[in-house]
Structure 1
Amino acid sequence: MSSPAATTGTTPDGEMSRGPHQKNRSGRSDRSGRRSDRSGRSLRARLFLPLITVCTAVTAANIYLAAPLLSLIAHDFGSTPSAVAWLASVAQLGYAAGLLFFAPLGDSVNRRRLVAVLALVAAAALVAGALSGGTAALAGAVLVASAATVVPQLLVPLVAERAPADRRASHVAAVIGGLFTGVVAARVVGGLIGQAYGWRVVFLGAAVLTALLGLATAYVLPAERRRREGPLFAGLAALPRVVRRSPDLWRACVRQAGMYGAWSAVWTSLALLLTGDGYDLSTAAAGLFGLFGLTASAVAPVAGGLVDRFGAAKVVRSAYLLAAVSVPLFWLGGHVMAALCAAAVLVHAALVASHVANQTLALTTTSTPATANTAYVVAGFAGGALASALAGPAFGHWGWGGVCAVAGAWLVLGWSVTVVRKR
């Protein structure tokens, strides 16, 4: 005769399970409990993509939080906007560093726990930034907050992994659309709130949203039990090898670095142009210009469908053509508002189309998607950070024309280097 232990087992969560018809201590069947578990899993499945998209928007906004507030920050610290423009580069470099160290962990550790921890760290750093008393302290807080704001890039490989093969680019595009919505919100909403209540309130509000949405997203992620092999940061050490063995991944990295650098040069410097002598707009009015960034959110699902139908290469070529047209329009926009508006629409359409195509390629070209995605996004943000760092001094020495020259140079480099190696 079997013992009572023979009718029980251990669930994947390590809890003792009862036999199929065994009752619990209250004498009731466990069927209602199982129905409740299925209901909870169903709710998580329904919330999975929408919540990830919203969380991506909020966390991505943190990287660009300082850009529309430069004039307010400079006034608060008794400086000039061009003298604190380097804060935008600090944010992008911090994000690139966070990607380098944390994003590869998506292949080896529990993403649910990692997302929750990083969201809380980013929120704490934003609070510290709001309380800072000088540019050095603010830069340190922005660096830490941006480094911890890698949640979107931990989630994109998971979205691609769970999506149907024929709709993978469309699902990735939904998350990318959320990312660019966050970029727009950082400029528009951040500019309006900053003008009304001060830049510190913007940082505090971002901290609250980051913590709440980060924890909510961690809740809906599927449970993962991974057995890590080797050092914790083995994915970081594998990055050069992964890129070297995949020409498609290398090409995606370089082309997106060129595209993102061109966009970053003009977009992070735009507040300097709009609030300067040429247009003399307020911070709030300059922030409203970011509404043109909604082009990216509208283009993302279209770009995803085009990639699924025609392939990544054709979409990237078309995106580079759009960006090339936008650069002279940006230069003309130094004096003509209509040209500036048209250029903003074109450059956002180009950036998001290129991003959807290149990131889909990066996620599907190797057997380690989180590591490949890390290489791709780090390359893009490194290109963007370097372009931003050059755009500030270029604006100080040569005005808006110098910024447009930096953007054009990045597009030429991003395309020509990959064409030469391909041949």
Structure 2
Amino acid sequence: MFVACALVVSNLYYNQPLLGMLAREFAVSEKSVSMVPAFTLIGYALGILFLVPLGDMVERRRLMQASMMVAGLFAISLAVSPNILTLGILSFIMGFFNVSATVLISFSANLAKPEERGRIVGIVLSGILIGSLMARTLAGFVAENFGWKMVFIFAGSVNLILAIITQWALPAAESHFHGTYKALLSSTWDLVKTHATVREAALMGAILFGSFSAFWTTLTFLLEGEPFRYTPQTIGLFGALGMIGAFAAPLAGRYADKKGPAATIRLGLYCAMAAFAILAVSSTAVVGVILGVLILDLGIQVAHISNQTRMFEVSAEARSRLSSIYIFSYFVGGALGSYIGSLLWSLGRWPAVSLGGLGFCLGATLLFQRGQKRRATSAKLA
């Protein structure tokens, strides 16, 4: 599951270190080409909303295989895009069907024992973060040596191969929901209306991933310009730095199993705010950028694991729907973050992006503290 998550989720991020190359290829501005990763994440968010809940209704392994095959074919089609508009539309469709990693998260939560759920979900989620960072490194290397089109051909081919491998590598998973598809979507919305924890965790996830996406979308512009002038391959290597934070995921999950998610979430939020403070004064210092990458990815990953794990405790029979709610919010925030990041870049370059990211994380912290006070008050009344 870890390996599949890392490889599948990479499809959503291969385009980010290629933005400068794509802008020159299609003769468009930095702001215009930034809409490609935004369209990809919006498509993914909608796929999560409408496809992932099916994991509670149909056999999960078949759902994953279908997702991998269709997303793989559309990933390959990106290589023959004649213009930036077509590239954006195909990226949107590819993102819509590229939901198998999200299905795997709820799958792993159902297979895990209650006392190990945080650690197990952390392992699978670390595959998602490693995939998002590995994609940037791999895309930079492939694009520089074989051209940007080969990046998408490779991505699609991997998806098609995974669709075959999962038939033998993963167990079958029975569904729990026996109503209609309309009732399934309706029950998903009921979970949002009924549970304050679901609403809080989903909004926090959106805010945090918005800050994360704003950073990674605009990092390419910073490192391509003065004083760095790095190549796509070198820019991609910055993604490899972030993988260090991903390896903390199982440890964070184990800590959350023992101490509860609140302490882990606070740690992640504080790390993310510290990272953006460092980045705000590092527009010409590569050491500061490297340190910011390490701390930011660690903080976002730690907060993300515990934030989603506490949602899975709401209902054992609805974990695909709960995962859908959380990841939908998460990637809507990511899509908005990509857009806001490019807007902040056009207004104030790197300092504006960094301060904007700090503002995102501060908002998430205030939201979490408010939820903690509400839960403490409810506990006293009970």
For this structure pair, what is the TM-score category when the shorter chain's length is used for normalisation?
over 0.9
Deviation readout 1:311-343 (Å, 9 max, x if unpaired) = 111100111111111111111121211111111
1:343-422 aligned at under 5 Å gives the runs 343-367=292-316, 368-420=318-370, 422=373
Matched, 1:56 2:10: no
Q: 1:18 aligns to what? A: none
Q: 1:69 aligns to what? A: 18
Q: 1:295 aligns to what? A: 244
User: What secondary structure is seen at the aligned counterpart in 1 of 2:229?
Assistant: coil
Give the TM-score normalised by the residue count of structure 2. Answer: 0.93
1:18-417 aligned at under 5 Å gives the runs 52-224=1-173, 226=175, 229-367=178-316, 368-417=318-367
Give the TM-score normalised by the residue count of structure 1. Answer: 0.84
Matched residue count? 372
The alignment yields a C-alpha RMSD, in angstroms, of: 1.6
1:272 deviates by 0.8
1:203 deviates by 0.2
1:302 deviates by 1.2
Query: Partner letter of residue 340 of structure 2?
Result: L
1:227 deviates by 7.9
Query: Partner letter of residue 363 of structure 1?
Result: F
Counterpart contact for 1:60–1:179, Cα < 8 Å: yes
Counterpart contact for 1:254–1:418, Cα < 8 Å: no
User: What secondary structure is seen at the aligned counterpart in 2 of 1:133?
Assistant: coil
The whole-number CA distance in structure 1 between the counterparts of 2:176 and 2:309 is: 27
Counterpart contact for 2:75–2:156, Cα < 8 Å: yes
- After TM superposition, which residue ranges in structure 1, 4 or more long, deviate above 4 angstroms? 224-228
Deviates more, 1:242-251 or 1:354-363: 242-251
**Which one has a larger percent helix, Structure 1 or Structure 2?**
2
Shift of the 150–68 alpha-carbon distance from structure 1 to 2, 3 Å rule, reads same
The whole-number CA distance in structure 1 between the counterparts of 2:124 and 2:248 is: 12
Runs of at least 5 residues in structure 2 that lack an aligned partner in the other structure = 375-382
User: What secondary structure is seen at the aligned counterpart in 1 of 2:247?
Assistant: helix
Counterpart contact for 1:112–1:219, Cα < 8 Å: no
Counterpart contact for 2:261–2:310, Cα < 8 Å: yes
Counterpart contact for 1:115–1:215, Cα < 8 Å: no
The percentage of aligned residue pairs carrying the same residue is 26
Q: Which has the higher contact order (CA 8 A, sep 6+)?
A: 2
Runs of at least 5 residues in structure 1 that lack an aligned partner in the other structure = 1-51
Query: Partner letter of residue 238 of structure 2?
Result: F
Shift of the 233–209 alpha-carbon distance from structure 1 to 2, 3 Å rule, reads farther
Which entry has the higher C-alpha Rg, 1 or 2? 1
1:224 deviates by 4.5
The whole-number CA distance in structure 1 between the counterparts of 2:183 and 2:11 is: 28
1:103 deviates by 0.8
The whole-number CA distance in structure 2 between the counterparts of 1:273 and 1:236 is: 42
The whole-number CA distance in structure 2 between the counterparts of 1:333 and 1:233 is: 50
Deviation readout 1:20-73 (Å, 9 max, x if unpaired) = xxxxxxxxxxxxxxxxxxxxxxxxxxxxxxxx1111001110111110111111
1:397 deviates by 2.0
